[in-house]
Every structure is written in C-alpha cells, then in structure tokens.
Amino acid sequence: MENILIKQLYRETDKFVGKEVKISGWIRTLRASNKFGFIEVNDGSFFKNTQVVFDQSLENFKEIAKFAISSSISVEGEVVLTEGAKQPFEIHAKKIILEGKSDADYPLQKKRHTLEYLREIAHLRPRSNTFSAVFRVRSLAAYAIHKFFQEQGFVYVNTPIITGSDAEGAGEMFRVTTLDVKNVPKDEEGNVNCKEDFFEKETNLTVSGQLEAEIYALAFRNVYTFGPTFRAENSNTARHASEFWMIEPEMAFAELNDYLDNAEEMIKYVIKYVMENAPEEMEFFNKFIDKGLFDRLNNVADSEFGRVTYTEAVEILQKSGHEFEYPVEWGIDLQTEHERYLTEEIFGKPVFVTDYPKDIKAFYMRLNEDGKTVAASDLLVPGIGELIGGSQREERLDVLENKIKEIGLNKEDYWWYLELRKYGETKHSGYGLGFERLIMYLTGMGNIRDVIPFPRTPGNAEF
Amino acid sequence: MENILIKQLYRETDKFVGKEVKISGWIRTLRASNKFGFIEVNDGSFFKNTQVVFDQSLENFKEIAKFAISSSISVEGEVVLTEGAKQPFEIHAKKIILEGKSDADYPLQKKRHTLEYLREIAHLRPRSNTFSAVFRVRSLAAYAIHKFFQEQGFVYVNTPIITGSDAEGAGEMFRVTTLDVKNVPKDEEGNVNCKEDFFEKETNLTVSGQLEAEIYALAFRNVYTFGPTFRAENSNTARHASEFWMIEPEMAFAELNDYLDNAEEMIKYVIKYVMENAPEEMEFFNKFIDKGLFDRLNNVADSEFGRVTYTEAVEILQKSGHEFEYPVEWGIDLQTEHERYLTEEIFGKPVFVTDYPKDIKAFYMRLNEDGKTVAASDLLVPGIGELIGGSQREERLDVLENKIKEIGLNKEDYWWYLELRKYGETKHSGYGLGFERLIMYLTGMGNIRDVIPFPRTPGNAEF
C-alpha cells in the first residue's frame, strides 16, 4: 500500500474517505482503555495531527497501548469522517507497526516548555507545535521570495561567503583561516604571514553581498542574492544573531522609488503566500503567539506603505510631544523608539523613511542634490522597527572617489567597484532584507533564536 | 513611457509591433555610416541582443555614432518586424540617451577572450555571452530545485554554516575565529584558549548540513538544504572549489530505493525546467561549448537510470577487458576512470551504483544484512562521473554506537545524533548534490571556476 502524507489526507479528504490508507509518523499523544485507544499521529508534512483509533481486534493491541510518546509508527486503516468531532476524520486502524520506539525519558512530553529550554534541545524542538509551525513558515517564506523574484525575471546570484575584500565595512567580521593558530607563522617584522594562509591573504566571512550583487545588476539588470551573512558583534539581543540569511536585490536603471515599489510589492507577496499556504500555522501564531498578528499582517497586505523624508520625520517626532529617551534632532540616527513611534503611532502601517543625512549612512549611497542627504531609505514596520534598508547607489565615479577619499578608505580596495562606474554605469538601486527579521514579523515570534534552526550567538555554536 | 525588458520584446513580440517602447541596456556592438547606424543592445534580461537602428533625424546622431562599447543607453522607438533578417524585429530609434559612458579601454571588446583571462575580470565577465548564459542557467536551475522540492512538500532547512561540531569528518575545514591571530591567547598548558574565542570553543565552516538535516527529517519527514559548504583542501582541479553550494535532501520513512527514485525524478525535472526556460542559452551551449550537450541531456531526461550493485559493477569492469590505470578489485574505491567507463561505455546513461563496501564509506551509512556492505549509492553520469552521493542512514542505535567506537570517533561529539535514534527513529535516507557539478553538467562548462560568480580556490579569494 502506498504510504501517503497526512497533508494529503487533510487537503483531499474526500478522495480518501472510506478507503484504506497507510500513514507513518510520530506519536504525539496516546490514550487507551482495556478495549480501545486513540493515537494522535504527526508526520511532519502538516501542522495538524491525525487521529488513529485502534481496538482489541489488533493482535498487538496490548503493546500498542504502551507505545511511548514520540515513537514512530506506521498505520494501515480506513479513513472515516467524524462529523461534529474536533478533527474532520480519523483512521480506523487495521494494522499498527512500531517503526522505532522512544525512550521513556523523551524530553518533550506534553506539558509546556519554555522557549529557552527548547533552545537547549534544538535537535528535538522542531517536533513541538510552535517550532513545527515556525520552520514550515520559514520554508514557505523562503520559497515565496524566490518565486516573487523569479517571476519578475530577476537572476539569483550566489555572492561569495569567504571574502578577501575588506571593503564592506558593515560590521565586525569573523576571520577564516587554515593557519595553525597555536603557531602562527610570522614575517620578518613579526606580523602574521598571510601568504601562508589558504588564500594567501587575510580572509573573512562576508557581512553583505551587496557590492558583488551590483556587479551582477550591471550585467543582468535585475538580480537578487539570498544567502548567509555574518556579524562578529558581541550583542546579546533578541534581534541579533551572528549568522543570518539576507536577501539583497539590486536593480539597474532604477532610482530610489523603484526600490521602494519593488520592496513593498515583495513584502505583500510573501505575506499573502504564507497566509494562503500555511493557514493552520498562521492561525496557531495568531491564537497562541501574537494575538494581533492577523490584524497587523492584513493591514500591511492591504495598505499602501507610507513614505516620508527623514527631515519630515524628524519634524513629526519633534512636534509629537512624545518624550523619547533619546532626544530627536536633525542629523541623529533614528533609534528603535523613534522608528516604532513613527510606524506604530503616527502612520499605523509600514513606512519608508527616505533621504537620510549623508553622515549617518554608507559611502556607496547616492548623494542628493542638496549635498546634505543621500537617496537612502529604510522600511519601518509596526512591532519590529527596521525591516529593510536600501538606497540608490552612487553611480558617479568622481563623487564616489571623493567620498572614499573623504572618509579615509583605501581606493585600491575598491578597484573593481570603481571600474563598474567606468564601463557603462547606470542609475541603480538595491536593498537588504534580513530574512529572520521577516520570519519574526510573519510569525510574531519575539526572539531571533527561535526562528533559526541552530542559532549562532556569542558563546553559542551548539549542534 | 514605461521602460520594458528586452525579454518581453522577444517573448511577446506581437504585442509590441508597431508600438513605441523604451528600453535600457548596454551597447554590445555599434556600427555607423554618415547617415545611419546599428546598435546591438543587451539589457541582461535576455540572452539575445536587440538591434536598434538610428539615423540622422536624431539630433545627437554624431555623438551616438561614437558611443563606446559597453556604454549604457536608453532608447525610445518603434518596434518593427524584419522578415528574413537574422533578428525577428528591430527598434527604429526616435530618441537615444547616454546613461553612462564607457571608457575606451573596456577590457571586453568583441574579440574572443580565454576563460582564464575572463576569470581575472570576474566583475565584467557576466557581460560576455558565455557567462550571461551560465549565470542565467545557474539561477534557473536553483529555482527549479526549490520548485521541485516545494511542490512535493519538502521543508527547506537552513543548516548552520559556522559549526562547533567536529562530527562531520567529510574533509578539511576552515577555522572561524575572532581571536587576534597575531597574539593568540594561551592557557596554562600553552594551548590556544578557545574560551576567549567568539563562540567560546573552536568553530569551523561546515562541510555538510546532512547530520542537522537528519534532525529535521525526523520532525518534518521530508526536508532539503540548499546552502554553501566548504573544503579547505589544497586541490587545484577543474572540479573542486573551496566554497560551493550543496543540496542535501533527507527523507524519513524512506529506504535506499526511495532516495534513488527521488534523485532521478529531481535531475530530470531540473533538466526539463532549464531546457524550457532557457532555450536560447542552452542552444548556445550546445553550439559553442559542448556539441554533444543536447544529446546527452535528452538521453538523461528520457531514459530510466541504470541501477547496479557495487559488486556487480566490479565484475562488469573486470570482465570488460578494458585496461585501467588503477586495477579493479572488490573493496577499492572506484576511480573516475572506472565510474566514467561504467556510465559512458557500459550503460550509456546515468547509473546508480549501490551497496558499497562498508570500509570505504561514511560511518552513518546503514549496514546491510551481509555485514560487508552499506546501503549507499552514488549516481554516475556520462561526462562527469559522480554527481550525487547518498545512502540510507544507520537508524539502529546499537549498530551506530558500535561503528562510532570501531572507527575511533568520540561518542560524546555525537550525543544529539545518537539521541535521534532513541526517540522514535525510523528508516531514513538522503543524498547530497553538488550544485556546481550540476551546472557544469547542464551547460557543458568544463571548469568549476566558470560556473561560480566569484570562485574560491587555493590562493584565490578575489572580489
């Protein structure tokens, strides 16, 4: 008999009613009397369990009644509708086989566990309801992102993870080496002899694929990256991890507004895809994790995102009468409290803040006509704050060279980035979306450690 | 006027004929007389260029005629059919604007360059025909893989890149550290004090996500990874890179044959997707890179893959009468010459070799009843050799523990891997596909450095 997925049973119930099927999965709950019993089986294909009813007619009835939680079993039986019951159907077992027993000390018994405890058993937590939902949604959101960009003809680019370029400057980096760190080879001046390292130079883990993505945008017009990035920052917050995945789209012949349009469309697309393809999981989040989730997501999917300049935003915040911990004045980097006040209290929906002061933004962002601001924009969303950052890129060779000089960077480190501006430069724009931030936003989960299968944070690299 | 993609012009020509359109792109070729001229423009959305015709009626006619190769331009004009000409249509320009000039020393002039030279200008090579085709196919193949697994309900898992686990044993690793390698902190015994490192232990770049993928298969039943993996091996061959992407599907309640079925279906799916969605690129490869490409790919898509045991394969090779550099006898690891002879000469199509001697395979592969072989299988394909490796995993706790002990591994390093066998183990199987090997196979490109945007090999980490 063909082994079918529980998802099929739920999605095409009519097809299976009255028929015999075979399913396999793990026991979530089991209760039995002397004469019959009920098993909730989950096979990981679907958020919900299926109920299996078994009775004394099975020759191994007594053993079945004692199967431990999390044992894996295969069940053959008839699919029967159960009108009025909690579950729409159940399986009347004709045969139940133990595939793999579970020890009685299984750490995930039915009682509730804290998220902190579950992090310590990251090899078992995906079997719990919460993480089953989180990681199925993560998978669907990743696919929705690929689907969105591929349908628009964007080319997916794998930018390098190991980078010999010190040019990104977006944060602290991890060093990658094959040198024997116990006996590091030194040169005559006592410095590390990087010539003996694997790549014959110092290399690090990338903090962003943007500069390389620009190379590809200037060949393929519209491209996107989707890969891991790294920050060796010693910050222990609920929103920071040392290893996380980023999506970095980059578009040639595109101005700042083109990035905003594309990002807005993308966010709405992903929300709709996940709501449509994981309704059970999303209902779970709305009910047990974040009661305002549906309201917030529907609001985002249906509303036109706000757009406001940084200068306007500063005025709005100053006039709001709200007392902030960090006072607001033109030129400051907006703090999370400012960002959340803007998006939650003032706009009540996502808002793009544009045209930030040049001194608080990266060197590659395009200088505006006013000489004071750059064509950059962050997307702020209720409940999270910054979800996306991006800009139009400085395409003018002379302006870019001056900027590099002005802030004391080494022009030679950027030789290929500058050459892009020599051979058929165009206006171009791009942005970065932290994938885990998006998953937190979609699920209402409050800690980045709970949306990454095996999170890496200072002092933590288990599994 | 809306700026449209050249791909749209080719795919929906009828819609645009007789209409005015605006396109933007880079000049591939330009020739002009005193009265009129022709520009081949490529915008990266499509493999082919579009031809723009311009004449003296344009006020900047003389400047246009001097535009350098690779300048970026925007063109407004009418789409006109060109019966009998090489290209199906052309654009009669009413306006041509220079977006960004190109310097006369542009390194990618029309003459042919060697692939080796193009690697040195990896920031410009995607603008050449060959690499435009390669990286568009790479993007489509990546999407086809996601599409295949998502349509089957597989959950996409991001396994960790930085690993504190020394348990994989698949190859030499890169160390990841924030220690000051010039002044490494030592403990009292003179050893490196890893407690002071970022993760408070020694960490490396992953060589495989398989063991973590098994965790997820035992919760979600069917899962796949698709991410970067690393090997710090000092091998300078055309088929090895230090950083490459792997796809590692893992399926619970699945025996060896289930992996073979899934892998065969997946390979055929990806071939068909790429042939359908990149016909122009594939034709280019078949014509200029590998004249046997279509024959080979069609043969794979249409044939049932062969299946032969290692023991049978050894007999076949011994009886073939062919003289191999490395003699064939039961127990040896098959060499590329043996693999290619099997798949090219004996089978003439892809072939799965199954049930290898246990001593030449990894510890986690399931021991067969004979006590001598394991339920492992490699997929060999003509022209390449090994494309996929996989196995049924050892699910029996006692057998696995014995194996770990037997080969001298440290049981404590595998605590969570062993615990999976305690709490509801099932038969499960999985495999690994090197993404770049697949791209080489799909395109006929002979060197892995030419299917990775910015390849990392010993001594090379440019860009």
* pLDDT above 70: percentage of residues in chain B: 99
Query: Are B132 and A219 an interchain contact pair (Cβ–Cβ within 8 Å)?
Result: yes
Choose, out of A176, A216, A448, the residue to mutate when testing the contact with B (most B CBs < 10 Å): A176
The whole-number pLDDT of residue A120 equals 95
Contacts of A80 (CB under 8 A, 6+ apart): A17, A18, A89, A90, A91, A92
H/E element holding A281?
A: helix A279-284
Q: How far apart are CA B310 and CA A51, in angstroms?
A: 43
The whole-number pLDDT of residue B170 equals 61
Per the CB < 8 A criterion, the answer to whether B9 and B79 are in contact is: yes
pLDDT of A415 over the 70 cut:
yes
Selecting from B138, B161, B416 the residue whose C-beta is nearest the C-beta of A243 gives: B161
Q: What confidence category does residue B85 fall into, taking pLDDT thresholds of 50, 70 and 90?
A: confident
- The Cα-based distances of B91 to A60, B13, B18, B40, B74 in angstroms read 77, 12, 10, 10, 12
Q: What residues of chain B lie within 8 A of the CB of A160, using their CB?
A: 243, 453-454, 456, 461, 463
Q: What confidence category does residue B55 fall into, taking pLDDT thresholds of 50, 70 and 90?
A: very high
CA A274 to chain B, closest CA, distance in angstroms equals 13
Q: How far apart are CA B75 and CA B83, in angstroms?
A: 22
* Residues belonging to chain A: 463
Q: What residues of chain B lie within 8 A of the CB of A161, using their CB?
A: 161, 205, 228, 230, 243
Q: pLDDT tens digits, residue range A297-314? A: 998 999 899 999 999 999
The whole-number pLDDT of residue A1 equals 82
Choose, out of A109, A158, A243, A281, the residue to mutate when testing the contact with B (most B CBs < 10 Å): A158
pLDDT of A165 over the 80 cut:
no
CA A86 to chain B, closest CA, distance in angstroms equals 23
The whole-number pLDDT of residue B383 equals 84
Query: Are B423 and A102 an interchain contact pair (Cβ–Cβ within 8 Å)?
Result: yes
- DSSP symbols for B174-236: -EEE-S-GGG--B-TTSSB-GGGSTTSS-EEE-S--HHHHHHHHHHHSEEEEEEEEE------
pLDDT of B364 over the 70 cut:
yes
Which residue would you say has higher pLDDT here, A151 or A171?
A151
Q: Is A160 left (phi over 0), alpha (psi -120 to 50) or beta?
A: beta
CA A452 to chain B, closest CA, distance in angstroms equals 8
Written as one letter, the residue type at A150 is: Q
pLDDT of A171 over the 80 cut:
no
Q: Summarize the confidence of residues B195-212 as an average pLDDT.
A: 95
CA A347 to chain B, closest CA, distance in angstroms equals 31
Per the CB < 8 A criterion, the answer to whether B440 and B448 are in contact is: yes
Selecting from B3, B156, B177 the residue whose C-beta is nearest the C-beta of A175 gives: B177
Selecting from B177, B198, B232 the residue whose C-beta is nearest the C-beta of A181 gives: B177
Q: What residues of chain A lie within 8 A of the CB of B252, using their CB?
A: 24, 44, 72
* Residues belonging to chain B: 463
Question: Token digits for A453?
Answer: 């299968």
Q: What confidence category does residue A109 fall into, taking pLDDT thresholds of 50, 70 and 90?
A: confident
H/E element holding A271?
A: helix A256-277
**In chain B, whose CA is at the least distance from the CA of A190?**
B182
Which residue would you say has higher pLDDT here, A242 or A167?
A242
Q: pLDDT tens digits, residue range B401-426? A: 999 999 988 899 899 999 999 999 99
The whole-number pLDDT of residue A64 equals 98
Q: Summarize the confidence of residues B326-339 as an average pLDDT.
A: 95
The whole-number pLDDT of residue A382 equals 87
Written as one letter, the residue type at A129 is: N
Per-residue b/e over B93-125, b at no fewer than 16 CB within 10 Å?
beebebbbbbeeebebeeeeeeeeebbebbbbb
Q: How many CB pairs under 8 A join A and B?
A: 319
The whole-number pLDDT of residue A87 equals 85
Q: pLDDT tens digits, residue range A119-144? A: 999 999 999 999 999 999 999 999 99
Question: Token digits for B203?
Answer: 């960490």
pLDDT of B168 over the 60 cut:
no
Query: Are B160 and A453 an interchain contact pair (Cβ–Cβ within 8 Å)?
Result: yes
pLDDT of B378 over the 70 cut:
yes
What's the distance, Cα to Cα, between the start and end of chain A in Å?
Answer: 37
Contacts of B97 (CB under 8 A, 6+ apart): B73, B74, B75
The whole-number pLDDT of residue A152 equals 96
CA A200 to chain B, closest CA, distance in angstroms equals 5
Selecting from B221, B424, B462 the residue whose C-beta is nearest the C-beta of A70 gives: B424
Q: What residues of chain A lie within 8 A of the CB of B140, using their CB?
A: 150
Selecting from A101, A159, A424 the residue whose C-beta is nearest the C-beta of B100 gives: A424
Q: Summarize the confidence of residues B297-310 as an average pLDDT.
A: 94
Question: Token digits for A393?
Answer: 């890129």
Q: pLDDT tens digits, residue range A260-287? A: 999 999 999 999 999 999 999 999 999 9
Query: Are A142 and B156 an interchain contact pair (Cβ–Cβ within 8 Å)?
Result: yes
Question: Token digits for B225?
Answer: 């990874």
Which residues partner with A205 through β-bridges? A162
Selecting from B44, B74, B227 the residue whose C-beta is nearest the C-beta of A228 gives: B227
Q: Is B149 helix (H, G, I), strand (E, B) or coil?
A: helix
* pLDDT above 90: percentage of residues in chain A: 91
**Pairing verdict, β B222-230 and B155-156:** parallel
Query: Are B461 and A220 an interchain contact pair (Cβ–Cβ within 8 Å)?
Result: no
CA A35 to chain B, closest CA, distance in angstroms equals 25
Q: What residues of chain A lie within 8 A of the CB of B454, using their CB?
A: 159-160, 212
Choose, out of B119, B198, B394, B415, the residue to mutate when testing the contact with A (most A CBs < 10 Å): B198
Q: Quick one: CA dihedral A281, A285, A286, A287, positive or negative?
A: positive
Q: How far apart are CA B409 and CA B406, in angstroms?
A: 8
Q: What residues of chain B lie within 8 A of the CB of A421, using their CB?
A: 100
Q: Is B221 left (phi over 0), alpha (psi -120 to 50) or beta?
A: left
CA A298 to chain B, closest CA, distance in angstroms equals 25
- CB-neighbour burial class of residue A354 (10 A; exposed 0-12, middle 13-18, buried 19+): buried
pLDDT of A168 over the 80 cut:
no
Query: Are A135 and B146 an interchain contact pair (Cβ–Cβ within 8 Å)?
Result: no
Q: How far apart are CA B346 and CA B353, in angstroms?
A: 13
Question: Of A244-248, A410-414, B106-110, which has the strongest mean pLDDT?
Answer: A244-248
CA B345 to chain A, closest CA, distance in angstroms equals 36
Query: Are B219 and A127 an interchain contact pair (Cβ–Cβ within 8 Å)?
Result: yes
The whole-number pLDDT of residue A170 equals 61
- The Cα-based distances of B155 to A441, B46, B256 in angstroms read 20, 32, 20
Q: Summarize the confidence of residues B151-164 as an average pLDDT.
A: 96
What integer best gives the mean pLDDT of chain A?
95
Q: What angle do CA A26, A28, A33 make, to 5 degrees?
A: 110
pLDDT of A219 over the 60 cut:
yes
* pLDDT above 70: percentage of residues in chain A: 99
Query: Are B425 and A99 an interchain contact pair (Cβ–Cβ within 8 Å)?
Result: yes
pLDDT of A91 over the 70 cut:
yes
CA A248 to chain B, closest CA, distance in angstroms equals 15
- CB-neighbour burial class of residue A372 (10 A; exposed 0-12, middle 13-18, buried 19+): middle
Query: Are B203 and A461 an interchain contact pair (Cβ–Cβ within 8 Å)?
Result: yes
Q: Summarize the confidence of residues B85-92 as an average pLDDT.
A: 92
What integer best gives the mean pLDDT of chain B?
95
Q: What residues of chain B lie within 8 A of the CB of A186, using their CB?
A: 182
CA B404 to chain A, closest CA, distance in angstroms equals 18
Q: How far apart are CA B388 and CA B401, in angstroms?
A: 27
Q: pLDDT tens digits, residue range A344-391? A: 999 999 999 999 999 999 999 999 999 999 999 999 998 888 999 999
- DSSP symbols for B295-315: HHHHHHHHSPPEEEEHHHHHH
Q: What residues of chain A lie within 8 A of the CB of B254, using their CB?
A: none
Q: In what order do the strands lie in the sheet with B373-381?
A: B155-156, B222-230, B243-252, B428-434, B385-392, B373-381, B351-357, B306-309
Query: Are A215 and B3 an interchain contact pair (Cβ–Cβ within 8 Å)?
Result: no
Query: Are A232 and B198 an interchain contact pair (Cβ–Cβ within 8 Å)?
Result: yes
